[in-house]
A = this chain, B = another copy of it.
Amino acid sequence: MPKFLDSLPMILSRSLDRVMPSYRRLFQANDLTDQQWRVLRALWEKQHLTSAQISQITLLPPPSLVGILDRLEKKNLIGRLRSTEDRRHVHIIPTQKGRALMEHMMPMVDRIHDDFMQRVTAAEWAEFNRILEKLSEPTEKRNLA
C-alpha cells in the first residue's frame, strides 16, 4: 500500500523544498533566482558555452532559458555572441561583472554544500547516489543492460 507521501516524486520534491532555502537566501542576497545562479554556475566551470550546452548542464528547458538569459543579459552579467561558423549557435560568455559575482558567491555556495555533506559519511553519500541512480536511471539505458 504505497502512501502518497512516500512516493518517489513526493520524497524528492520534499527534500528539494527543504534543501533549497539554504541556498536561496544567498541567491536573493545577490539578487539572483535559483535558475539564474545555475547558469552562472555552469559558466564557472567553462566560460564558453552555447545555449544548448547550458540547457543540458543546468537542466533548464530551452524555452525557459531564453528568458533567464535575457534577464542575466539585462543585468550585464552575461553576453550573447552568435557563432560565425554555425550561425545557429549562440555562445554565452560571462561579463566582467558576471565573473566578479561568481567569484564572490562560489565560496559561500561551496560552504553550504559542505554543510550538507557533513550530515552524512562519505560512504553514505556514495550509497545514496548509487541507489538514487538505480531508482531514476533512464529507461533506455536500463534496456541495454
Contact = CB atoms under 8 A, between A and B. Distances in A.
Interface residues of A, number: 48
Contacts of A44: 4
A111 to B, nearest CB: 10
Q: Which of the listed residues A5, A124, A131 has the most CB atoms from chain B within 10 Å of its own CB?
A: A131
Given A12-B16, A127-B127, 6 more contacts: A2-B110, A2-B113, A8-B113, A8-B116, A9-B16, A120-B131
Task: Say how many copies of this protein the assembly contains.
Answer: 2
A74 interface: no
Interface in A1-19: 2-19
A14 B136 contact: yes
